[in-house]
Every structure is written in structure tokens, then in C-alpha cells.
Amino acid sequence: MESTSGDQATETTAGLGVGLVVLAWLTQFLVGTDLFVVAPLLPAIAASLDVSPASTGLLITVFSIAYVVASPFAGWLSDRKDRATILVWALLLFSVANIATALAPNFGLLLVTRVVAGVAAAATGPTVYSLVSTRARPQARAQVLAVVGSGLLTALWVGAPAGSLLSQHVGWEATFVILAAGTFLLALPNAFAWRNGPRSVSGTPKEPVTDGRTGRGVAMSGVAVTTLWAFSVYSLYTFLAVGLHADGRATAVTWLLVVYGVGAVIGGQVGGRFADRAGAVRVTRSALALTAVLEAVVALVYPVTWGLACALGLFALAGYAFFPAQQRHLVDMFPDRATGILSWNNSALFVGLSLAGAVGGQAVDSLGYPTFLYIGAAAAVAAFLLAGRRPGRPSGRPALP
């Protein structure tokens, strides 16, 4: 699958062959399905291994912790070695982890397999983003990141429900076997498809950015914005079903999540396209401002289901417009350390997601779901203010931590 004249004939306006974009999308879709499918499988896993449903929540916790811890190291390694090689080994490790998940005889070993899966996922997602972003034309970079990122978002509302439905007929173990087979099969084309194109650049750039802050400060400020954004977005998403069940609207959960998922996919595409045309920093700040306003609107219209549906779609569109623009901004700031900074960014996302889950459980119980959304909106405001303090473009190549 190396680049040929035929590939060039099918090259997109972004500068990548259609085959590369499809391959990257499929990789993100399968890895995302593995990430999101665990939650709906928890009751079946609990019954199979004779543990409490509450205990099975640790499967998500250990995966997230492994991801957060391993992602920066995986990014550092990928920037110093061949990124395609790192991706292939990560996919193979992911496949082994999923087979081990399906075969785990007890809950303790199952936890270990999810730790390994978290490490593999940490090396997969950011590396895929880096491979496509460094091969895309600069003027289309965010658009490409949005298209590839839509694979992850599609997994949220297509892959995970499909895996859950499959498990009802053939068992939860079969879901992980199928995911293992899928990631194993993707390893081969990924081994050859990325051979041509830019490689990792060795060495650590030293020049400061325009405002005199060190590259470390710029990187930490950038990923802190992502943490606050993730807290805001996942405060709403994580407890939406809980709130609807408590209100006696359980039948609305599925179609409202579909509305949310479609809005998120469209938002990612719109955000990527506008970031390439209007500037990444401008789009991130606009998206954060709209996210804050629309999260408050969701809280206000929450009692009315159709009003909630409209607000959810708009919220997801605005909220997920942020992420490809943020990725574009970070890659522009750190072109020689793209995988590293994207790894830190993904870790920041998981930190925000985890904080939303940890804080939200107690807050929703004591305040109620709609009131908790105002806390999420406040986090988006904080992200907006912090994003306004960072430089809009690089004047050199700042150093990563």
C-alpha cells in the first residue's frame, strides 16, 4: 500500500490519499469501539465473573489511568522512533490485550488485561493523529484531523451499541475477540501504508514562543484547556442517561444519544474546516464560548424533551468543534513533536473525563443533573479564558516537556 501514481490520482485536497484517510479512520473507529463498548458490557461481565456491578467500574478506571500515564511516554517514544512502527506494535498489543480480556478466568486478571489495553490505546490514537497531520497540507490539517477523529466519535454512537447488541447474542467475550481480530488485521496495512512521507524529526527544539514563555509552559497551558473542555463536555454526556432515568424518561435515552452523536460528528467536521480557514485559536475560543452558553441552555430546557434534543444537538456541534481546532493549534506549535503533544492532549482529555465522572457522581446526587450542568458551563468559561492567554501562532519551535 505504498504511495503510487494511482494513490496520487485519488489524493484528497488535504494532501493525503483517500486510502490513508480511510485506514486512519478505521483504526480510530476500532480503538474507539473498544474504549466505549466496556460500559454497556459491565452488567454481563459482572454476572459472568460473579462480582458486583459497582466493582466492574474499575475496568474503566484502570484503562483510563493506564492511558493517562502511558500516553506521554508513548508520544515521546514515537517522536524519536518511526511512528508507523510504533503504531503497528501498538495495534498488535491491543489485539493481544483483547484476546486476553476474552479469556480472563477471573476479575483480577481481567483488570490486568484492561491496563495493557489502555497502554496500547495510548500509543495508538495520538500516533494516528500525528501520522495524518504531518502528511496533510498545512492549510487542511485540522480538516484531516476532524475526519479521522470522526472515527472515534462514530464508535461512540455506532460501534459501542453494536458491540453491546452483539454481546447479547454471542456473549461479551465474543465482542472482544472480534475487536482483537479487527485490530490485528489493521496492523498489516498500517505497516506498509505509512512508509512514504515525513518521519519523526530528532532533536529537541529550543526557541521560545512569541510571549517569552518556555515551550513547557505553552504545552501545559494548551493541554490544561483540553482538560477543562473535557470536564465541561463529559459532565453533560456522562450523566445524561442517569438524569433521564431518574426523571422517568428512559425511553428517550437512545435517540437523544444518537442526536448527540450526530451533532458531535458534524461539529468535528465544521470545527476542522473553519480552523483551517479562520485560524485554530479563533475557532477554539469560539467553540468554548458556545459550549459554555449551550450547556446552560441544556440545563434550562432539560424538562422539555424536544427542547432538550435541540439543545443537545447544538451543544455537541459546538463542543466537538473545539477538538480538531485544538489539535491543529498544538501541532502548529510543536511540528517536530506532534505525537508527543497530541499524546499529552489526549491524556488531558482523559483527566477531564475522569474528573467529570468523579465529581459528577456526588454532585448529581446532591444538586440534581440540570444544576450540575452549570458547573460544566463554568469549566468551559475557564477554558475560554485560559485559551485567550496563549499565542496564536509559533515563532520558532518551543520545547516539549
- The whole-number mean pLDDT for each consecutive block of 10 residues of the chain, a chain of 401 residues, reads 42 69 95 84 87 80 87 82 91 98 96 96 90 86 90 82 82 94 96 72 38 60 92 89 84 85 92 93 96 98 97 97 93 83 88 84 88 97 89 44 42
pLDDT score at 137: 85
Q: Where in the chain is the domain with CATH 1.20.1250.20?
A: 8-193, 215-387
Q: Give residue 197's pLDDT.
A: 62
- Write down the pLDDT at residue 361: 77
DSSP-based three-state secondary structure for 17 = strand
What grid cell was written down for 200? 519523526
Cell numbers for 332: 502548529
Residue 399 DSSP symbol: P
Burial class from Cβ neighbours inside 10 Å (0-12, 13-18, 19+) for residue 120 reads buried
pLDDT of residue 212: 39
CATH superfamily of 8-193: MFS general substrate transporter like domains (1.20.1250.20)
CA separation (Å) from 19 to 26, 31, 202, 263?
Answer: 10, 18, 28, 26
Within 13 Å and on the Cβ side, how many CA atoms surround 315? 32
CA distance 87 to 193: 11
Give the pLDDT confidence score for residue 391 in this predicted structure.
56
164, amino acid identity? S
In the prediction, which pLDDT does 251 show? 85
Q: Which residues pair with 11 in a beta bridge?
A: 17
Instruction: Return the pLDDT at 216.
Output: 65
Query: Grid coordinates 456473549 are at which residue?
Result: 171
Q: Which fold has domain 215-387?
A: Growth Hormone; Chain: A; (1.20.1250)
pLDDT of residue 204: 37
